[in-house]
Structure formats: structure tokens, C-alpha cells
Chain A
């Protein structure tokens, strides 16, 4: 019974999230919105790569595929962070429904997870569209060789890496929710901070080995680094280290992130309840 109630909450939250984030828009317009932004990001990096390689004197197709996959799968980070960073602010200050969600019999954590899963759904749509159009533009129009054998992908490893990574990013999102429960000043910048740090240190478009030592230390502590390594291994089979070790590190960093996320969120919830912040209305 309890499981059914949780599943119902998650399902409703995904539906609400879908309605809010698609802005009740026409599905085609929505698809264009979710394609243009990540595709433009991929085009920027792709052209930097092509122009930089021409200036540097060597073009490496393997490295292009490395960048292509890293940048495409980074969509999950951006989308989950955007969804979870804005959620508390939107529901509390804009739509003024957070207090009702908090008062409902089920824990609001399940509602937040449901909303995050809607972000995952949107990111998956973006990913498929970006990969498709990316291959079409770079390989079809510009003649850049993208060395991906779509039939040789290790789909079980890919699915496992995706699940572990998504759990990890949702746990990070709970940290953002916790911060946003306590303050109404930072919701717009948190996504950019987290995405910016993960993009720079996570080995998304370049190998972390090029970073200074302190940067590499940060990179080694981030789950995104191992998430992208295992994703790349499953698709490209080209990473230097064994995928089992990366998978293990991904699991370990995921557990650490879940602990941090749960702690921050619970402390924030306790303090918010104590200080009357659950229905604190600001800005609107």
C-alpha cells in the first residue's frame, strides 16, 4: 500500500513537472526548445575542436568522439540541476503550492524525486535529439568522422552507468533543494555554479590530466568523472583504465553523494520548519 502511494506521488510529480516545464506548449515547439540549447552547446565545442585541431596541426577522430559523448551526456547534469534548483523557489514563491505538498500525507522527498525524474525524462529526449542531430551535422554535413560503432555499444554497462549517474545527480540536486529551502537568493545561480564546476573538472570535453594537480584532485573526487568514464567505455571502449574500477569509484562517490544530499536536505528541512520557511513568500 505504502509503495503504491509512493509510486502514485512520483507519477503525479512527473506529470506536474512535465506540464510546468513544457509550459503547456505544443510538443513540437517543446522538442525544438530541448534540442536547440544542447545542440548549440555541442556545436560550440565541436567547432572549437575542429578549429583548434586545425590550428594545432592534428585532428584526432578518437578524441572528437571522446568530446562528443562527454558533452552530449552532460545534458543529464544540466537538466537535473536546473529542475531541482528551481523547484523549491517555483513551488514556494511563484506557484505557492509548497506548503500543500509539505502537508500532504506522503513525504515531499518523493515528490521532489518525481520532479527530478521529469528532468531525467527531458534530458533523455534532449540527449537522443542531440546525438542524432550532432551526428547528422558533424558527420553528414561537415564530414567529420565520429568513430562510434552503434552496434558494438555495451548497452548493459551503459544502462547501469546511467542509473548510477542519475541517482548521483539527483542526490546532488537534493543538496541544491536544501540550500534553496534556507534561502531565496541563489536559485538562479546554483545550477550554473554546479554545472560550471562539473564541466570544468569532470573531464567532459578534455581529459582531466591537463588540469593542474589541484584540479586533478578535485576531478578525482567528483562522481561525474567516473560517470563519463564508464559511459565512454560502454560506447567507445577507449578509456585507459579498467571500467570495473571506474564503476566501483562511481558507486563509492554515489554513496557519498547520497549521504551528503540526505544530510543537507534533512537539516534544511528541520531548520525551515523551525524558522517558518516552508511557506515563506518572497519576490512574487
Chain B
């Protein structure tokens, strides 16, 4: 009697593990499918690739020339180039991650996602990974081109620290994008303005084109709510000033905290917004 109960329990556990494994594989396939669409879609049109490479260089060139005009030291060109490179990720997070569910709603594919037996987080993860792959390739080109054109001096003593900071920044940024995605999904039409609203102010607050420590204290306080601020500060110190992990450990801790908070918050927000959207009948509402 006791043995059969144990056997049944073991069988139940085995079934549960099998079920979880199947679910994991299923959702990994979802992630891969969304990643594939993102990579294929973003690289389908040569005009889009050219625009993503040329436009950031135009803007950062203007700021480099402004620093030159003011006789600032050549490291400032490096500041602008690193900032311009990382901004590519912020733009991607805003328009291709945060606003994505809004686009999906407009094109009618959001309904398909919602009725499919899949995790919404798996879709968001696929979008994020696809965005990271695409934007990293473009960011490398912007970085190399900017450095060559303006001969910005880079001193990298600890390349692995720079890579660690880079990946932590990217994960934190895309976690923020996942959180925004659910908000954008529900507030529809306002998404466009909201994305516009968040673009330039974040360039300013995160110190994309100048060291953030030069901003007034209360502005720095607001800036510390943005993961990009810490990422940019750390990466610049490692890549331009030759700093090591001992100098930027605070940036690393801040980014880890961002990730630990933003990822669960994104999952919670997604469930909450989906339920609210269902209740109010706004999930499939176009031209909202």
C-alpha cells in the first residue's frame, strides 16, 4: 500500500517534470521563432540597414564637431562615439521592443499571440534577443566607423570588464523594454508620443554625449533611474579612461539590481495589462 503510494507520487513527479520540460522546449521554440522573424525582418531591406548605420553617425558627427569647435580634448569625441553607439540600443528598445505589441495590435498579429498556447514572455524574449543581435552588429559598425573617422583614442585595459558591462547594460535595457511593451500594448495610440517622449530626454539624462557627473545633482538623481546611465558611465570609464573592474563595481551592482527588479516586474505588468485589456476589450482595438 505504502509502496504503491510512493510509486504513484514518483510517477506524478516524473509526469510533471516531463510536462515542464516539454513546456520549456515549446517556449524556447517560440523564442527562436520570434528571434528568427526579428532578425530576418530587420535585415530584409538594405535601406533599413543603411539608415540604422548612417543616421547615428550623422548625429554624433555634429556633436563631435561641436566639441572640436570648443577645443575640448580628443577624449570627448570618444565620449560621443560610445554614447552614439549605445543609443542605437535605446532606440531599438523603444521602437522595436516597447512599441512592438502596439504594432502587432495594429497589424492584427497580437490576437494570434494571445490565443496561442504560449508564454508571452517567450515572445518578448525572442524579440529582445533578435533586437540585441541586430543592434549589436550595427553598433559595432557605428563604433568602428566613428573611431576611425574622428580618430578617437580608446584605452581598453580590461576588455572582459567592458564586455561584462556591455551585456549587463543590454539585459537591463531590454528588461525595461519588456516592461514598457505591456504598457504600450494597452495605451495604444499614445505609444507613438510616449516613445518620442522617452527618446531625447533619455539621451540627455543618461549623459549619452557628455559625462553625467557634470549634470546638477537632482538631475543625476533622476538619471540614476535609467540603466543606460550606469552602463554608459562604466563602459566609458573602461574603454576611454582605461579603468578596471575595481573602479566600476558600483555600476555593475546597479545594473544587476536593475535586472533583478525589471524582469519580474515585466512579467507582472504583462499579466496585469493582458487581464485589464481583456476586461476592457482593448486588446484587439485598432486605431486606438
Those of A186-235 within 8 Å (CB) of chain B: 186, 189, 192-193, 196-197, 199-200, 204-207, 210-211
The answer to whether A43 and B204 touch across the interface, beta carbons within 8 angstroms, is yes
Bound-state Cα–Cα, A52 to B63, Å: 10
Bound-state Cα–Cα, A206 to B65, Å: 7
The answer to whether A40 and B69 touch across the interface, beta carbons within 8 angstroms, is no
In the complex, how many residues of chain B place their beta carbon closer than 8 angstroms to a beta carbon of chain A?
42
The answer to whether A48 and B67 touch across the interface, beta carbons within 8 angstroms, is yes
Residues of A within 8 A of B45 (CB): 185
Q: Which residue of A lies closest to B95 (CB)?
A: A188
Extra pairs beyond A95-B287, A206-B68, A210-B65 (9, CB < 8 Å): A24-B189, A25-B190, A41-B200, A44-B200, A44-B204, A48-B209, A189-B51, A192-B51, A200-B62
Q: Which residue of B lies closest to A189 (CB)?
A: B51
The answer to whether B58 and A199 touch across the interface, beta carbons within 8 angstroms, is yes
The answer to whether B76 and A52 touch across the interface, beta carbons within 8 angstroms, is yes
Residues of B within 8 A of A284 (CB): 106-107
The answer to whether A25 and B193 touch across the interface, beta carbons within 8 angstroms, is yes
Also in contact, A193 and B55, with CB within 8 A (given A55-B76, A200-B61): yes
Q: Report A41-52 CB contacts with B as 1/0, cut-off 8 Å.
A: 101110111111
B1 interface residue (CB < 8 Å to A): no
Residues of B within 8 A of A56 (CB): 70-72
Bound-state Cα–Cα, A94 to B189, Å: 12
Residues of A within 8 A of B73 (CB): 55
Q: Report B39-51 CB contacts with A as 1/0, cut-off 8 Å.
A: 0000001011001
Residues of B within 8 A of A245 (CB): none
Residues of B within 8 A of A193 (CB): 51, 54-55, 58
Q: List 17 A-B contacts (CB under 8 A).
A: A25-B193, A36-B201, A37-B197, A47-B210, A49-B70, A51-B211, A52-B69, A52-B210, A53-B70, A186-B47, A193-B58, A196-B59, A199-B58, A205-B66, A206-B62, A210-B65, A284-B106
Q: Which residue of A lies closest to B288 (CB)?
A: A23
Bound-state Cα–Cα, A37 to B192, Å: 13
B174 interface residue (CB < 8 Å to A): no
> Which listed residue (A58, A142, A197) contacts B71, Cβ 8 A?
A58
The answer to whether B69 and A51 touch across the interface, beta carbons within 8 angstroms, is no
Also in contact, A57 and B71, with CB within 8 A (given A23-B192, A44-B200, A200-B61): yes
Also in contact, A23 and B204, with CB within 8 A (given A33-B197, A47-B215, A58-B71): no
A contacts, CB < 8 Å to B: 23-25, 33, 36-38, 40-41, 43-45, 47-53, 55-58, 67, 94-95, 142, 185-186, 189, 192-193, 196-197, 199-200, 204-207, 210-211, 283-284
Nearest-neighbour CB distance to chain B for A17, whole angstroms, equals 15
Nearest-neighbour CB distance to chain A for B125, whole angstroms, equals 25
B contacts, CB < 8 Å to A: 45, 47-48, 51, 54-55, 58-59, 61-63, 65-73, 76, 106-107, 189-190, 192-193, 196-197, 199-201, 203-204, 208-211, 214-216, 287
Bound-state Cα–Cα, A207 to B70, Å: 11
Bound-state Cα–Cα, A125 to B200, Å: 18
Nearest-neighbour CB distance to chain B for A267, whole angstroms, equals 20
The answer to whether A40 and B61 touch across the interface, beta carbons within 8 angstroms, is no
Residues of B within 8 A of A33 (CB): 193, 196-197
Also in contact, A36 and B197, with CB within 8 A (given A197-B58, A210-B65): yes
Residues of A within 8 A of B208 (CB): 44
The answer to whether B204 and A200 touch across the interface, beta carbons within 8 angstroms, is no
Bound-state Cα–Cα, A210 to B208, Å: 23
Q: Which residue of B lies closest to A204 (CB)?
A: B62
Q: Which residue of A lies closest to B56 (CB)?
A: A196
Nearest-neighbour CB distance to chain A for B69, whole angstroms, equals 4
The answer to whether B61 and A44 touch across the interface, beta carbons within 8 angstroms, is no
Bound-state Cα–Cα, A44 to B67, Å: 12
> Which listed residue (B47, B70, B197, B216) contacts A52, Cβ 8 A?
B70
Bound-state Cα–Cα, A94 to B107, Å: 10
The answer to whether B199 and A196 touch across the interface, beta carbons within 8 angstroms, is no
Residues of B within 8 A of A41 (CB): 200
The answer to whether B70 and A55 touch across the interface, beta carbons within 8 angstroms, is yes
Bound-state Cα–Cα, A50 to B67, Å: 10
Bound-state Cα–Cα, A95 to B106, Å: 11
Q: Which residue of B lies closest to A46 (CB)?
A: B204
The answer to whether B65 and A189 touch across the interface, beta carbons within 8 angstroms, is no
Residues of B within 8 A of A57 (CB): 71
